[in-house]
Amino acid sequence: MIQFLPLGGAGEIGANCYYLNINGTGIILDCGMHPKKDGLDALPVFNLLKDKPLDHVLITHAHQDHLNSLPFLIKKFPYLKITTTPQTRALAELTLHNTILILKREISDESFEIYSHDEVDLLIKSIDYKSYEEEFEIKGFNNRDDEPVKVKFYDAGHILGSAGVYINYKEFKIFYTGDINISSQTLMPGAQLPHEKINTLISETTYGATESSNIKSWNDETEYFARSLNNVINSGGSVLIPVFSLGKMQEIFATILLLMKKNKVTGVDIYTGGIGKKISRAYDYNRFVVNYNQNDLVLHDSPQKDIRDVTNYDEFFKFPSIVLASSGMIIESTASFNLTKRWLRQKDSAIFTVGYMDESTPGYKIAKAKKGDKIQLTEPDKRKEVRCDIKNFSFSAHSKREELINIIEKLKPDNVILVHGDEEAICWMGNAALKRYKGTKVYAASPGKEILFD
């Protein structure tokens, strides 16, 4: 008997965490923190694990919504073994330490005990790592027979080190996509998949509600991006690009560098900074040991200025420049949020959004606005006129919905469990899968509701 139980990430994007009980071996897939919630509400519901066998944690990648609750989980269950890819282990060390600083700034509830830097150091040392397609075995303490669970990671094409998880127990095969991207980006090639039929597919649905025609190919979007950059720069303006420090900053920075190298974009100063620069170094170190599109491009050594060295934001407008600042969804108190307030007043400049914006974030309001509108970024803010240009680009690190459906076509699962998406996304994916693949059972994961397989 195999039990699947969502602890978070069911019917939403955030706090992704799923429990599998495979004949007495307890496996947790990812352990994320919800980016829009505070304190204990941001964590997966660990109380659902009470009295269940617990043996192993498999982490697909180092984004906040898949990783950042791991220290809380290990505090509660210190005997759990953790495995991920070498690259995710390295990135986790950077991102978890950075998260401590963010939590201390954002969390005022003294009853919420934030993990320490020393605890993160110990946690990282305890993480085992396996390369892509390197098989390893998991044997649970309560396993009811001598048959181990066999596991492999497959390159998910999302960010450096991201993985889909293949699990095989007595020829019952499970594949968890994690965050997956079938299409190639500037740095990351498309995902790799198992070459065999899967019994149960656990699939993300991020763009399930988005028409695939509304998401251009990376190459087509790059051409439009180049023309738009030149329009602003050549008129004397500067461009602010809100990005996630992990993944999006490296992809967009690399895209701009290559465009300038090919003389498709006018050369100007590029500003980066924060943890994103350290993450870029990790990309550089690993560019020859993973699938990678630009082995000759060294991000950390490429010309760039540090945002943190700027003491007066007027410097960004003295001469045309491009500024890559986190957070990607322009969350309050972040660098991109503070810069956005200044950018909105600049009639010759522009804000370019380059990825997913949750509807509850200031970034969503910016993405939906146009010059001349009056918007209110947060409750305390006054409504302000948008004087700069705003353009939106679909540089997606997630698969389009048709690509997700094609994964079902390729793996031919008997069961599909839909996670990591809002209700509309999951409904589209579920309906499409049921119409196209008769006989396939489709489940919409619900928080705390178990699904059983024989």
Q: 305-320: buried (b, 16+ CB within 10 Å) or exposed (e) per residue?
A: eebeeeeeeeebbeeb
According to the model, what pLDDT value does residue 356 have?
A: 81
Structure-token pair, residue 451: 């699904």
Q: Which helix (H) or strand (E) holds 125?
A: helix 117-126
According to the model, what pLDDT value does residue 239 have?
A: 98
Q: Is-contact 344 337, C-beta < 8 A?
A: no
Question: Could you tell me the pLDDT band of residue 326, with boundaries at 50, 70 and 90?
Answer: very high
Residue 144 in this model has a pLDDT that exceeds 90: no
Mean pLDDT lowest among 33-37, 56-60, 73-77, 271-275: 33-37
According to the model, what pLDDT value does residue 60 have?
A: 98
**pLDDT one-digit tens code per residue, 367-418:** 999 999 999 988 888 898 999 999 999 999 999 999 999 999 999 999 999 9
Question: Could you tell me the pLDDT band of residue 191, with boundaries at 50, 70 and 90?
Answer: very high
Residue 309 in this model has a pLDDT that exceeds 80: yes
- Which amino acid is residue 198, in one-letter code? I
Domains detected in the chain: 2-210+399-453 (3.60.15.10), 216-392 (3.40.50.10890)
Q: Is-contact 377 365, C-beta < 8 A?
A: yes
| Mean of pLDDT over the chain | 93
3-state secondary structure of 301: coil
According to the model, what pLDDT value does residue 441 have?
A: 96
Residue 365 in this model has a pLDDT that exceeds 70: yes
**pLDDT one-digit tens code per residue, 79-137:** 999 999 999 999 999 999 998 887 877 666 666 778 889 999 999 999 999 999 999 99
Q: Cα separation of 188 and 75, whole Å?
A: 34
Q: Tokens 């065999």 identify what position?
A: 196
Q: Is-contact 416 8, C-beta < 8 A?
A: no
β-pairing, 200-204 vs 415-419, is parallel
Share of the chain above pLDDT 90, in %: 81
Q: Residue 66's closest CA among 119, 106, 10, 14?
A: 14
Q: Residue 339's closest CA among 319, 322, 359, 361?
A: 322
Q: Residue 208's closest CA among 405, 412, 383?
A: 405
- Cβ atoms within 10 Å of 385's Cβ, excluding its own: 11
According to the model, what pLDDT value does residue 107 have?
A: 67
Cβ neighbours of residue 162 closer than 8 Å, sequence gap 6 or more: 60, 61, 85, 88, 155, 156, 178, 179, 180
Q: Residue 394's closest CA among 435, 365, 354?
A: 354
- Which amino acid is residue 301, in one-letter code? D
| 23: region left, alpha or beta (phi > 0 left; psi from -120 to 50 alpha) | left
